[in-house]
Amino acid sequence: MSEQKASQNYSFQAEVAQLLHLVTHSLYSNPEIFLRELISNASDACDKLRFEGINHPEFYEDDADLHVRVSLDKEQKTITISDNGIGLTAQEAIENLGTIAKSGTKDFMSKLTGDQKSDAQLIGQFGVGFYSGFIVADKITVESRRAGVATSEGVRWISGGTGEFEVEQIEKASRGTDIILHLREDKLDYLESYKVKQIINKYSDHISLPIQMQKEVWQQEEAAEGEEPKAGQYVKTDEWEAVNSASALWTRNKNDVTEEQYVEFYKNLTHDYEAPLAWAHNRVEGNTEYTQLLYIPSKAPQDIFTREAKAGIKLYVKRVFIMDDADNLIPNYLRFVQGVVDSADLPLNVSRELLQESRDVKTIREGNARRILTVIDGLAKSEDEKDQEKFKQFYAEFGAVLKEGLGEDFGNRERILKILRFATSNNDEISTSLADYKARMKEGQKAIYYVTADSLAAAKNSPQLEVFKKKGIEVLLMADRVDEWAMNFVHEFDGTPMQSVSKGAVDLGDLQDAEEKKALEKAAEDFKPVVEKLSDSLKDKTKEVRVTTRLVDSPACLVTSEGELSPQLLRMLKQAGQAVPESKPILEINPEHPLVKKLDSSEQFDDLANVIFDQAVIAEGGLPEDPAAYVKRINSLLLK
Ligand code: ADP
Ligand code: MG
């Protein structure tokens, strides 16, 4: 035997210790999840071996049938979960079982609701599944040997789940990991094989790896002549049999998979504790062959709008796990989609770089995008009330993300536009589709009008809307951050132009009668001197001053030239630290407004001009460039 190093003691990272306390003191109401978590780790370990085995076939040693074994020992009061996967080195055991690499723990702690059931579900979501073993065990022994490492270099890790753990080097013949749980006295029912089988079926049936338990046979002793027959019992044999169906769920025929199985697979895949809103499962044939199983979650992750947000697609090649978060398989604007893609055409050693260039990957990405959009559209169109509810929830969670697709995925722009819903000047609810809007357009109306602002309230009260309200023309209200940017890419829907009411001059076309047009011309003529004076006063702030009919109650408003960035978008970009082109807005004045009428004769022309301009800035959600000067001017005007 090789020399054995003495065992060494280590302390858990403070966060782990805190977590362990929590696990053992408040998650005891749903203890059975420990099996799901440990089996999922074992299955991950086998996936990792398959992956490393591509370049290192020697890692398989003589033991290529990957499996998980669950064994029960009533005498020792232990339940052992063994795998012949990748295994752990001593260093890996210390690092991976003693610290929490992800910063998720704090998040985890803050999310706890006190409801044990949902709290217990959270534990898996935050990558702390291993510690769930301590819900049922007061001591855990881990024995492991890393693939490719000498049998003398195994490791034993022991902890009682409080502050410390102990690590020593051991001799271990078999590759992989045994997790030995020494059950708490009140958890001995997990030694009953029927119960363990039940739990495996419930949580882990779809795991693509066989999960085996020892086969048991019924044994009954012959009773002697004249005696009562003796009670029989199940006795374990040396044979192992799979207790799960062990076929990767996505490889099964749709008709053979139940709704519960789809949901359970999703939960396992994502560690989401809520069921998904919808899913699509298809085998796609043609030049590129692949299977897609794609899910739409019911909630958006918190980081959905940050740069770190990752696509949740796992890539398999012929059932071999290749990588997580394969973001080339789904366009960025659908990054909320979770699931599995299994390709028959990609090479097993495909890298992220290769993925970027592959034509097959491009085909898969497009296929995935189309499929998801079809699923969403199906929900939107469905008459079923449940689907309607789902669509609403989908839209509230992911509508804004989806809009990014208008700028990213030109091929699907029309499809995306059909799915979008808006609040309008007539209806606060975000429920009007572009088709609905078109159906309600007034006679003579030639465009779909919309306004973008920082909030729905600001959009609704925007001065640019006044003439539309007066004439009873519906205007779409948009207040998502992405709207302004996304709408830059949209010029029409179904043959009807889309027109921002704050860009360019309002052209109401036939909605404006001859008299109104004449009145505008006359006002422009009458106000020529005032407009000139204003242009002069405000020459640093505006590009142009002109008379408008779009206003009813407001003295003035800002508009942007067609094709230029609006003040809101400029503000947003500036806040995000981006360099923005200097661009000045156009000031439009309302010749009917008393303040504007007063301008010409005002002794404080310059003050009034600047106040009118600053108010227009405020009305569309901005701040005067020099707030103190603004206040001073107002006060001075008030005093007069
Ligand atoms: P997660 O699975 O989300 O990474 P866990 O707490 O479940 O978090 O597991 C922590 C880490 O411990 C894993 O990432 C892995 O490195 C290691 N580990 C746990 N179980 C095994 C196992 N059976 N074989 C190899 N490594 C394991
Ligand atoms: Mg885990």
Every domain of the chain and the residues it spans: 8-217+231-242, 249-388, 404-510, 512-639
Residue 577 CB contacts under 8 Å (≥ 6 apart), including other chains: none
**Nearest CA owner, ligand 1 atom 13:** 96
**Residues 187-204 as b or e (16 or more Cβ within 10 Å = b):** beebbebeebeebbeebb
From the CA of 41, give the closest atom in ligand 1: 20
Q: Per CATH, which fold does 404-510 belong to? A: Rossmann fold (3.40.50)
Residue 157 CB contacts under 8 Å (≥ 6 apart), including other chains: 93, 94, 97, 141, 142, 143, 144, 165, 166, 167
Report the distance separating Cα 413 and Cα 401, nearest Å: 14
- Is 129 annotated to bind a ligand? Reply is yes
**Nearest CA owner, ligand 1 atom 27:** 41
Distance 161 CA to ligand 2 centre (A): 17
Between the alpha carbon of residue 520 and those of residues 534, 542, 612, the distances in Å are 18, 21, 20
- Is 127 annotated to bind a ligand? Reply is yes
Position 1 scores a pLDDT of: 44
Spatial strand order in the sheet of 68-73: 8-11, 164-170, 154-159, 137-145, 176-183, 78-83, 68-73, 211-219, 233-242
Check pocket membership of 178 for ligand 1, CB cut-off 6 A. Answer: no
Check pocket membership of 108 for ligand 1, CB cut-off 6 A. Answer: no
Check pocket membership of 294 for ligand 1, CB cut-off 6 A. Answer: no
Residue 607 CB contacts under 8 Å (≥ 6 apart), including other chains: 633, 636, 637
DSSP assignment letter at 224: P
Contact between 552 and 466 (Cβ < 8 Å): yes
Check pocket membership of 565 for ligand 1, CB cut-off 6 A. Answer: no
- Is 440 annotated to bind a ligand? Reply is no
Three-class DSSP category at 386: helix
Check pocket membership of 124 for ligand 1, CB cut-off 6 A. Answer: no
Check pocket membership of 96 for ligand 1, CB cut-off 6 A. Answer: yes
Distance 163 CA to ligand 1 centre (A): 19
The 10s digit of each residue's pLDDT in 292-331 is 999 999 999 887 887 666 778 998 887 777 778 788 899 9
Report the distance separating Cα 537 and Cα 450, nearest Å: 31
Distance 145 CA to ligand 1 centre (A): 14
CA-based diameter of the chain, in Å? 127
DSSP assignment letter at 465: G
From the CA of 128, give the closest atom in ligand 1: 6
- Is 603 annotated to bind a ligand? Reply is no
- Is 102 annotated to bind a ligand? Reply is yes
DSSP assignment letter at 503: B
Question: Whole-structure pTM over 0.85, yes or no?
Answer: no
Check pocket membership of 34 for ligand 1, CB cut-off 6 A. Answer: no
Q: Per CATH, which fold does 512-639 belong to? A: Four Helix Bundle (Hemerythrin (Met), subunit A) (1.20.120)
Question: Would you give the distance in Å from CA 530 to the centre of its chain?
Answer: 54
- Relative to the alpha carbon of 45, which ligand is closest? 1
Residue 103 in tokens: 């910063």
Spans in the chain with pLDDT lower than 50: 1-2, 103-104
For the domain covering 249-388, report its CATH number: 3.30.230.80
Count the alpha carbons within 13 Å of 397 in the hemisphere toward its beta carbon: 22
The 10s digit of each residue's pLDDT in 599-632 is 888 888 999 999 999 999 888 778 888 999 999 9
Check pocket membership of 412 for ligand 1, CB cut-off 6 A. Answer: no
**Nearest CA owner, ligand 1 atom 23:** 42
Position 121 scores a pLDDT of: 56
Check pocket membership of 609 for ligand 1, CB cut-off 6 A. Answer: no
Distance 127 CA to ligand 2 centre (A): 6
DSSP alpha helix (H) spans, 409-480: 413-419, 434-439, 456-460, 466-470
Distance 45 CA to ligand 2 centre (A): 10
Report the distance separating Cα 84 and Cα 50, nearest Å: 11
Contact between 503 and 583 (Cβ < 8 Å): no
**Residues 556-581 as b or e (16 or more Cβ within 10 Å = b):** bbbbbeeebbbbbbbbbeeeeeeeee
Check pocket membership of 81 for ligand 1, CB cut-off 6 A. Answer: no
Distance 479 CA to ligand 1 centre (A): 43
DSSP assignment letter at 75: T
From the CA of 92, give the closest atom in ligand 1: 16
Mutate to test the pocket of ligand 1, among 130, 157, 165 (most ligand atoms within 8 A of CB): 130
**Nearest CA owner, ligand 1 atom 7:** 129
3.30.565.10, 3.30.420.40, 3.40.50.300, 3.10.105.10: which CATH number matches 8-217+231-242?
3.30.565.10
Check pocket membership of 39 for ligand 1, CB cut-off 6 A. Answer: no
Helix H or strand E segment including 49: helix 33-55
